[in-house]
Structure 1
Amino acid sequence: MKNTRTTFLLFCLAAASAAFIWRFEWAPGEPSGGMPGAAGALVSLDPDTVDYLGIQHGGAFIECRRDSKEWEMVRPVSARADSTKIYKIISELERLPRGLPITADERRARSLSLKDYGLDRPRAAVVVRDRTGRRLIRFGGESPLKDAVYVRLDADGDVWATSTNLPGQLPSEAADLRDRRLLRGDPASVNRLEFKRSDGPVNLLSRSAGEWIFQKPVIARADEAKVTQIIRRLFTLEIQRFVSETMSDPVTYGIGADEAALQATIWLDGSAGGETVLFGNALKDDPALMYASVKGASSVYAVPGDLLGALGARFTNLRGKRLYFMDEQSVRHVRIADDKRVLSLALSTNGWRISEPVKLNADDRLVRGMIAGLNRLEIERFVDGAFTNAAAAARASGSITLSSALPAASEPGAPVPAASAFTGAERSLSWRRNGGVTLACFNDDSQCFEIAGGQQDLFLPEPLLYRDRTVLALDPSAVCRIRIAWDGGVQAVERDAGSGAWMSAGPGRVAANEPAVDAVLGLVSYLKAVRFELSGSAGPEAFGLPEGCLSLTLGLTGEEGIQKTLVFGDLAGRSEVYAAVQGQDSVFVLELSALELLLNDLGR
């Protein structure tokens, strides 16, 4: 019985070999590429255009096809192929050296047949196809000196001796040529990641402006290094065993949707949907391995079990140490409040505006900087446990709200509604100061934390921090009179109504110093403050105002009004000076060069 079985197996192997050779040597409809290759090369091959590889070796018959840049195995199983191994085989074929042929006539003259070269039943055969056609390369036995392998090409009757160890490198079973990566793709192109333990909530992260942000279980910044490590671990995970290709019951392996110990889904740039991997039970014969499967496929694999610990990190362990409200580009409204004041800013078609407590144009750059600063406040430490009385008190001391929607529609000039009247995405941070520490929490997150010091101005509902720095923007053609006065002196010029020329004011009119006048007009056409001074309880006298050391009065025509007076006070340092516009409460700081410009003589 045993001899009968052995004979039967040998017969099947011979039949498979004959079928393989028939298919690629005598099958019609596909041209031969022409053998041998160029001088020095046994096989003429264009490796960049190879799209098919067939291998018969050790009783296995393997077929692979290339789709775009990736190789797929189509026989004996439908699966991903190892592109690196395939390209190595193709490269070896291309480099086969060509020796002298042993023709059929020479073999007959020596009373030798293909059997003497091991080519009656080749130990391996390879079919490769490129843009010019297919090649069939059959590998026989070794030369007597073991320094060459006998090869037969296509239907050519010649036998070639070539130097190669390729036959020993060819896969003898499908698993040898399968891609052992669980996931295929570039880790750098991942833009979304979701993972869930069987005993925990869904963790969903997305890539926003180059950063990883948690969307679930709460919105928070993620630890960039830890998330990158998880993604790298997924893409470097190697399959240790191919367990089954026909999974019928995923529960058997613990990889059902409800039983899986861990589920991980990734989305790549340019992909229509995500790919989900399920991880299940440990293998009974090797507890260091666990079952895994790609959702929607019937294959089951065994992968290293330590992955569960690496990918099963809790949300709290992956949370970053900087605050995150929302995507900065989506913010349309900001509300900062303490127990006494409220500052409200809204983005209009013309830029940011302060709408409460006063209505002023805001400096877009400063507001964007404030939003960026709030979105990156450093967390000193997370406070363990659920909310306590301390956290409740934090809500009562102050709050910061960012919203991606403007207030509900209202008439121009109407008061800004409370935070509850806003629609769209909105997050509020409540806070309380305790000495040098700021305790804070988000309205949609039960985690309390301490914010590091150093950026306390971001918590101030002070409009002067964000108002537009433009203090004068006059049309030079509307200025009809310039008067500069200082302690003990005055000079004035005015525009002649007839000629439009600038002349000294008063009796004995003479032409003015045009360059000096133009310099003053240029100054007041777009005068920006370095900053506005937060005076607190101090009056203008604390800055050498309102009298000042020097004043600039501009007589105006048309819509600009009657006149504007700019008053300069004390020095605010070595290169700055305090100033104010007469009739306005704000004190601001100008560069000292603005004052120095007014010391020029306006006369000839």
Structure 2
Amino acid sequence: MRTKVTLVLLFLNVALFSFLYWLRSSIHPLQEQGGILGTEVVNLQKIEIAAAARPNPIRLEKRGETWMIVQPLMWPANEFAVTRILNELQQLRSEASFAVKDLSKNGQSLADYGLDKPPVTLTLTPATSGNTQPASTVLRIGDTAKVGNRLYVLSPDGERVHVVNRSLVESLLVKLEDLRSDTIFSVAVYEVRSLNVVTGAPATSKVRIARGDGRWLFETPITTRANKSETDVTISQLNALRIQSFVDNPGAEPVRLGPDEMTLKITLEGNNRHETLIVGGRVRDQAAPKPAQTQPSGTALTPPAGPSELYYAKMDDKDPVFEVAMPASLLERLTNAQEKLRDRKILDFDPGAVTAITLSAAGQPDLTLQRLEPTAATPQSFNWQIVRRAADQGPQTVAADREIVDRLLQRLAELSAEVFVSDAPIDTMLEDKGFNRPALRVKISLAPAGATPSATGGSLTLLLGIGVDRHTYAKLDSPNYIYQVSDQVLQQMPVESLAYRDRTIRELPPGARITALKLVDLVEQKTLLDTALPLPPPDGSAPAQNGTPAAATPAEAAPAGAEAAAAAVSPAVRAAIETLVAQIRTLRAKKFVRDEFTKTVVVAGEDRPWRYQLTASLSLVGGNGSQTAASTLFFSERAGGNTEYAGSPEFDVVFETEQPLLDALFTLVYGPRDPGPPPPEQEPAPAPAK
């Protein structure tokens, strides 16, 4: 008996709890917390606001992710205004309520609360779910309550009157102008596929710039590259344009949007959509532009700096006319887009794909810089060689300086137009600009993508001419566009093998040592330096053999008298000798003067004999043991503060010395005669006290 009662009670408890759970779940959370509206406000598709003070209702419709005003006109809705309405609906709470059926008991009706003919009626339509068309919810908003900042709202089912905060009606009764978005273009920079600009009369022109392979390209009126950064900035500034005010009564003022008054027609094409702005005439009565608006993220949409002017405008697919503040800089850039948005770089190539550069000038043999295959020592870089072809002999090759060739490639890649002269030059213009006999022809040979340097690919040919006005002009073989470039270009691209020769003349192997130095003044027949190496340190410790401890080669130690004399040299002379040793080990030229050694050298415009002779005794390690050799360099007198010439019979070359070698020679030649800095001035002794 007890078991049966227990089971019955347990069953009743389960049934009771199930009923309570169902009852609780059937009440929407918003309603449970005093909310008036339920799930219909979570995913709204349409909103209609009918107000007694307005002749026509305002209808908003969500299309994709954008809210649009579809009545009384077609225009994107202000994102902030719509968000405020949605927030007010979702947070709408009843502060007090009473049943409609109880009104008659108190001798009242809906008319007493302004709900028989409500000032505002709100119709909400949720988004379609599947094939089912959801029913609309109607919310009637009545008069303002007599106490507090409240108003009356009739529930959607018409059974209760709620007292709510009046912030809802304030969000609904904004002016139509404030409900309309002031955004003109909504196609973001990253989405834009093309920019189209048509200028108005009298000089009507059409420009189309399309995106392709990560760059912008002109498609009309010419085919060429556009400046990527300038194009991106222009599109960003178009997106930053804002409507200053709508012209709701076009008949009241001349809006100046006729074909003869059109200033610009601008089209941004995006992903399966496009937006076109027609800019008409200038507004005669100019007002100060409104400040920049702010995006939801808080980022200010600031137009470009500089003056702006108001123009009448409209979107091509919409009727409303508005005023837009066009910055003068943006207007000029769009009006002259063919020049302002054009890429000023003349050559378009990858320096890493260049296999050869051939320089040709009238009256001179061609000079070719040829890229070599990478070696095991330099797998990530390329060496270059100079190839000279003369009419009376075969091609000659010599190592080129990689840094100098890289600078030449950089100059070519950065060669920019100062002025776009002509995109369709006639023969007389080509002759006037010096292209009938170019001052310089540069052919750039390119390897195919992913190919080895020896592979044959395409090529570019640059022509540089000197015009009748003595300015420098450039053009390519194709297309036939003429550019004015810097007049320094020809000086930066000499057709001289010495200009590109490897600056390293000689580098001794690691095992080689310099055992002695002798410097002689050939004019005065005087020995300025004669010392064995390495120099013994001033502290008497074992000297280093050009970087190797002296103990490694004891048989080649200098005589005791020479060591004593060498140990007595001044610190300045010691530093100069050490610099000489380092410079001779790796002999480099600051600049090559001649590619053959001569017994005289031009200094200050005069042909003079060499003034100094420096002889270095070398100890070389070979297959047959140690060998000795002498290396001789000749030096001129100093030709200027930073210029001194050197000649090498061994390498058959004359060159300018680098600064460390020049300073070391100065110390050895003029050091004994240098009086040093003047002594400091002594202050006069104070006068004796009286």
TM class by smaller structure = 0.5 to 0.7
1:457 Cα offset (Å): 1.5
TM score, norm. by length of structure 2? 0.56
Retained in 1: the 8 A contact 2:514–2:581? Answer: no
Tell me the amino acid that sits aligned with residue 143 of structure 1.
T
2:238 to 226, 233, 246: 233
Tell me the amino acid that sits aligned with residue 553 of structure 2.
G
CA shift digits 1:502-560 (9 cap, x unpaired): 95557978598799787656445555544445899999612577664545454433499
What secondary structure, in the 3-state scheme, does the structure 1 residue paired with 2:636 have? Answer: strand
Is residue 394 from structure 1 mapped to residue 442 from structure 2 by the alignment?
no
2:163 to 160, 164, 169: 160
CA shift digits 1:341-383 (9 cap, x unpaired): 3333355542352433343233336634653466344525726
How far apart are the structure 2 equivalents of 1:371 and 1:326?
A: 12
CA spacing shift, 1:111–1:194, aligned 2, 3 Å: same
What secondary structure, in the 3-state scheme, does the structure 2 residue paired with 1:87 have? Answer: helix
CA spacing shift, 1:311–1:455, aligned 2, 3 Å: closer
CA shift digits 1:171-225 (9 cap, x unpaired): 899x9967675642444x478645376986764366999x977576243565976
How far apart are the structure 1 equivalents of 2:315 and 2:45?
A: 30
Retained in 2: the 8 A contact 1:117–1:141? Answer: yes
How far apart are the structure 1 equivalents of 2:499 and 2:583?
A: 23
- What's 2:686 paired with? none
Retained in 2: the 8 A contact 1:532–1:589? Answer: no
CA shift digits 1:16-65 (9 cap, x unpaired): xxxxxxxxxxxxx9984425979xxx9999xxx98757523125554437
How far apart are the structure 1 equivalents of 2:349 and 2:26?
A: 57
CA spacing shift, 1:114–1:372, aligned 2, 3 Å: farther
How far apart are the structure 2 equivalents of 1:427 and 1:30?
A: 80
- What's 1:362 paired with? 401
Is residue 117 from structure 1 mapped to residue 113 from structure 2 by the alignment?
yes
**Tell me, which stretches of 5 or more residues in structure 2 are unaligned?**
1-24, 51-56, 127-136, 249-258, 281-311, 375-380, 389-396, 522-526, 535-544, 670-690
| Structure 1 segment 124-523 matched on structure 2, within 5 A | 124-125=121-122, 138=139, 140-143=141-144, 147-151=149-153, 157=160, 159-164=162-167, 166-167=169-170, 169=172, 181=183, 183-187=185-189, 189=190, 193-195=194-196, 203-204=208-209, 214=218, 217-219=222-224, 222=227, 228-229=233-234, 232-233=237-238, 236=241, 264=267, 266=269, 276-277=274-275, 292=316, 313=335, 316-318=338-340, 322-327=344-349, 329=351, 332=354, 333-341=356-364, 342-347=366-371, 349=374, 350-351=381-382, 353-357=384-388, 358-364=397-403, 367-368=406-407, 371-372=410-411, 375-379=414-418, 382=421, 386-389=425-428, 391-392=430-431, 393-401=434-442, 403=444, 405-406=446-447, 423-424=457-458, 426-432=460-466, 434=468, 436-479=470-513, 481-487=515-521, 488=527, 489-493=529-533, 499-500=552-553, 503-505=556-558, 522-523=582-583
- What's 2:62 paired with? 64
How far apart are the structure 2 equivalents of 1:459 and 1:407?
A: 25
| Structure 1 segment 530-545 matched on structure 2, within 5 A | 530-533=590-593, 541-543=601-603
What secondary structure, in the 3-state scheme, does the structure 2 residue paired with 1:232 have? Answer: helix
2:620 to 548, 556, 560: 556
CA spacing shift, 1:577–1:343, aligned 2, 3 Å: same
CA spacing shift, 1:596–1:33, aligned 2, 3 Å: farther
Tell me the amino acid that sits aligned with residue 368 of structure 2.
S
CA shift digits 1:229-261 (9 cap, x unpaired): 46633763869899xxxxxxxxxxx9xxxxxx9
Larger RCO (CA within 8 A; separation ≥ 6): 1
CA shift digits 1:144-187 (9 cap, x unpaired): 669543346787946123233745645899x9967675642444
What secondary structure, in the 3-state scheme, does the structure 1 residue paired with 2:658 have? Answer: strand
How far apart are the structure 2 equivalents of 1:467 and 1:43?
A: 87
CA spacing shift, 1:263–1:409, aligned 2, 3 Å: closer
1:438 Cα offset (Å): 1.9
- What's 2:96 paired with? 101
Tell me the amino acid that sits aligned with residue 509 of structure 2.
D
What secondary structure, in the 3-state scheme, does the structure 2 residue paired with 1:439 have? Answer: strand
CA spacing shift, 1:448–1:113, aligned 2, 3 Å: same
Retained in 2: the 8 A contact 1:107–1:113? Answer: no
Retained in 1: the 8 A contact 2:362–2:440? Answer: no
What secondary structure, in the 3-state scheme, does the structure 2 residue paired with 1:456 have? Answer: helix
CA spacing shift, 1:328–1:124, aligned 2, 3 Å: farther
How far apart are the structure 2 equivalents of 1:401 and 1:101?
A: 88
What secondary structure, in the 3-state scheme, does the structure 2 residue paired with 1:574 have? Answer: coil
Tell me the amino acid that sits aligned with residue 557 of structure 1.
V
CA spacing shift, 1:215–1:387, aligned 2, 3 Å: same
Q: Which structure has the larger Rg over C-alpha atoms? A: 2
CA spacing shift, 1:321–1:563, aligned 2, 3 Å: farther
CA shift digits 1:282-334 (9 cap, x unpaired): 9xxxxx767735xxxxxx66778999x98974665446594421156566243
**Tell me, which stretches of 5 or more residues in structure 1 are unaligned?**
1-28, 130-135, 243-253, 255-260, 268-272, 283-287, 294-299, 415-420
- What's 2:47 paired with? 55
Cα RMSD over matched residues? 6.0
- What's 2:638 paired with? 571
- Aligned pair count reads 515
How far apart are the structure 2 equivalents of 1:503 and 1:600?
A: 25
Retained in 1: the 8 A contact 2:591–2:656? Answer: yes
CA spacing shift, 1:585–1:114, aligned 2, 3 Å: farther
How far apart are the structure 1 equivalents of 2:169 and 2:383?
A: 70
CA shift digits 1:488-515 (9 cap, x unpaired): 1422337699833595557978598799
Tell me the amino acid that sits aligned with residue 232 of structure 1.
Q
* Percent identity (aligned): 16
How far apart are the structure 2 equivalents of 1:596 and 1:469?
A: 19
CA spacing shift, 1:508–1:279, aligned 2, 3 Å: closer
Retained in 2: the 8 A contact 1:100–1:161? Answer: yes
1:83 to 79, 85, 109: 79
What secondary structure, in the 3-state scheme, does the structure 2 residue paired with 1:396 have? Answer: coil
What secondary structure, in the 3-state scheme, does the structure 2 residue paired with 1:541 have? Answer: strand
Retained in 2: the 8 A contact 1:117–1:140? Answer: no
How far apart are the structure 2 equivalents of 1:435 and 1:548?
A: 48
1:425 Cα offset (Å): 6.0
1:590 Cα offset (Å): 0.5
CA spacing shift, 1:405–1:116, aligned 2, 3 Å: farther
